[in-house]
Each structure stands twice: as C-alpha cells, then as structure tokens.
C-alpha cells in the first residue's frame, strides 16, 4: 500500500460517504464531515449512513465529525462531496493552499460557473481538481468495480488522488482536462432526463407509437455531440468526451436504474408534476437545477443545444413530454458530420 494519507471528506451524502469508506478501507486516516452535529452524532453511533447508503457499514477507522476544525486544516487531501450549490462555501472554508477535489457535477446556479471557475474566484492558491466518471455511489460503497478520472492541470495533484483512492476495485485514471471532465459531468445529467422521458413514454400503454430503443440510441448519440460542442467552446479537449467522464458517464446516467436524473425523466413521462417527482425522489437530481444554467451558458457562447433546450422547456411547463420528444426527433435532415 502507498503511504497513509490524512483525508477530509466534506459532505456526508451518498458520494462523500462512499469515497470515505473506500479511502478508509485502503488504510488512510479519513474524517467524514457531516453538515450538522445531529447528523454527525447519528452516523458515528450507527456506523452506517442509513439515509443515503443503507447497508454500507463504516470501517472501524473512519472518523465522523460535524466540523473539520483546526486539526484537519493540514489534511493531505480534501474531497468535497456537497451538491454544486454548496461547493463555493466549502472551498471558502479550506486553507489557502489546500489540495482539493470535488465530486459535484453541474454549473452553479446564478453565475453559470463550473467548479474550476468557482475555485479560481474563491481561492486562487488552492490546488484543485475534479473527480468524475461513470459511477453510482451504492456500487462504489459496496466495492463493485468502478473506474473514475481525476482531472487537474496539476499533475502531482492528480497523482495524489490516485494514491488516495486507487485500488483493485476502484480504478483512478488521470486527466489534464478538468474543463472537459466538468462539462461532461454537468451536461450528462440534463441528457439523462431527456432519455428518461423518451424511455418513459415507451412504457405507457396509451402511446403505441412512442419512442423505443432506436430513439434512445439516437438521443444519446446526439446528446454526446451536444455535450462536445459546449465543451469545445469552453476550451475542453475533444478526446475527453470519448472517455470515462464523457461517453462513459452519459451512458450510465442515461440508462442506469440507479440514476436519479433518469428517474425524473421517467416520472415526468408518466404525467407527474415536477414538484411531486422531486419530493418523492428525496435526493438532489442535479440535472433539474443545472439545465437552465447549461442552456444559458450555451446561448452566451452561440452553441446550439436542442436537447437541453427541450428539457428546460419541459421542466418549465412549456412543453409536454410527448411534444418534447417529437420536437427532437422531428428536426430537419442534415449531414451527420455537420451537426447532430
């Protein structure tokens, strides 16, 4: 095993908890920081996160705390597992030159910033990166084989993530393109809602001509092209979108039964209202909150994103699920190499 590291995981949701479990099992000194003293006390007493990862027992060495405190100011690695809305505040609380990766995927509501842009504003001296890829927290916590990508322009920092998390069951690959990795992670959530809508319509008894598996394949393919257009406009490398955080994460999130964003689309296709769907979900579906911001950022750059536009219109109540799919599948014919 590599040298033991002191690791602080901020955010005791599903993802933060799953990676804290894996890092502790690898022999590192890990502290999982919960959002409140009450939550921290419950997790420490029960030694399992019943709200997000029932059945995934904590290793004996995993420490649970409410606040990082001064003792962890010098942690070798900080991992932020909050939703995108909490990233800015979490970064503000870190030491000036801390080494940090975040797990959240999306654009910040209001500002339209990606994680690396937020970090540049909040802490220019921070050593930063993003950890992403096709992964469900439940499977990571259970030790099922998973591959992730640690992306940072700081090569030594990316290697630090490998030292902290790489194992026989959790493979960590490195990338020097955090922009592409972040765009992939943000846009795939929006596209997963669209694919969920498409699949959900196909499950309805009152829609005999509803889209099927052929339409799903077309939607995922066109969605990947849409994701790439935005990424290239923001300075990403094209090869990134053919990797784990692009195509890999898109396929998993758009088709996997554990995907919250996919479940939102499935439920909307059954005629349920968005507030009702989100209330029943009980967890954050980042695609719902990211979709308007993704579209706004694309429009500002002159990037065409018809799938994202249809999802936003549906979430706003301006399109029905059936009208959204018909609009996408009824676009004018053109050369595939021109624009999907």
> What does the alpha-carbon distance between residue 57 and residue 38 come to, in Å, rounded to a whole number?
19
Which position among 28, 113, 188, 229 bears the catalytic label? Answer: 188
Task: With both helix axes pointing from N to C terminus, report the angle between 178-202 and 213-233 in degrees, rounded to the nearest 10.
Answer: 160
Cite the beta strand spans of 144-195 per DSSP E: 146-151, 170-175
Structure-token match 């939607």, residue found: 219
In three-state secondary structure terms, 147 is strand
Sign of the alpha-carbon dihedral angle for 63, 68, 71, 73:
positive
Cite the beta strand spans of the chain per DSSP E: 6-10, 29-33, 63-65, 77-80, 99-102, 127-132, 146-151, 170-175
> What does the alpha-carbon distance between residue 231 and residue 298 come to, in Å, rounded to a whole number?
10
Q: Is 205 exposed, middle or buried (0-12, 13-18, 19+ CB in 10 A)?
A: exposed
Cα–Cα distances in angstroms (integers) from residue 168 to residues 25, 144, 146, in the given order: 12, 10, 9
Token pair listed for 62: 């995993």
Task: Tell me the residue length of the chain.
Answer: 340
Residue (of 116, 85, 232, 100) closest to 182 by Cα position: 116
> What does the alpha-carbon distance between residue 306 and residue 329 come to, in Å, rounded to a whole number?
11
Based on the residue annotation, tell me whether 188 is a catalytic residue of this protein: yes
User: Catalytic residue positions?
Assistant: 188
């Amino acid at each position: 095993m590599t040298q033991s590291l002191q690791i602080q995981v901020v955010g005791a949701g599903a993802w933060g908890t799953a990676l804290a479990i894996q890092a502790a099992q690898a022999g590192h000194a890990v502290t999982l920081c919960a959002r409140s003293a009450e939550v921290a006390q419950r997790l420490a007493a029960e030694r399992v996160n019943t709200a997000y990862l029932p059945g995934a027992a904590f290793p004996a060495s995993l420490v649970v705390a409410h606040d990082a405190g001064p003792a962890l100011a010098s942690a070798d690695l900080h991992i932020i597992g909050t939703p995108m809305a909490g990233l800015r505040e979490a970064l503000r609380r870190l030491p000036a030159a801390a080494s940090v990766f975040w797990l959240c995927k999306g654009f910040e509501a209001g500002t339209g910033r990606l994680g690396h842009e937020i970090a540049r504003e909040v802490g220019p001296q921070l050593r930063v990166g993003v950890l992403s890829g096709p992964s469900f927290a439940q499977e990571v916590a259970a030790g099922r084989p998973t591959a992730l990508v640690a992306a940072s322009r700081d090569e030594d920092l990316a290697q630090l993530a490998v030292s902290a998390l790489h194992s026989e069951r959790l493979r960590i690959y490195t990338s020097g393109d955090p922009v592409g990795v972040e765009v992939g992670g943000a846009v795939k959530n929006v596209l997963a809602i669209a694919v969920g809508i498409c699949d959900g319509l196909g499950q309805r008894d009152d829609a005999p001509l509803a889209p099927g598996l052929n339409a799903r394949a077309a939607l995922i393919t066109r969605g990947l092209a849409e994701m790439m257009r935005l990424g290239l406009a923001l300075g990403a490398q094209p090869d990134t979108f053919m990797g784990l955080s692009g195509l890999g994460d898109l396929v998993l999130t758009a088709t996997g039964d554990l995907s919250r964003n996919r479940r939102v689309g499935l439920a909307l296709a059954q005629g349920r209202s968005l507030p009702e769907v989100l209330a029943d979900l009980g967890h954050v579906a980042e695609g719902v909150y990211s979709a308007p911001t993704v579209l706004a950022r694309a429009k500002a750059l002159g990037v065409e994103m018809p799938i994202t536009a249809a999802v936003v219109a549906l979430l706003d109540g301006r399109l029905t699920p059936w009208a959204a799919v018909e609009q996408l599948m009824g676009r004018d014919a053109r050369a595939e190499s021109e624009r999907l």
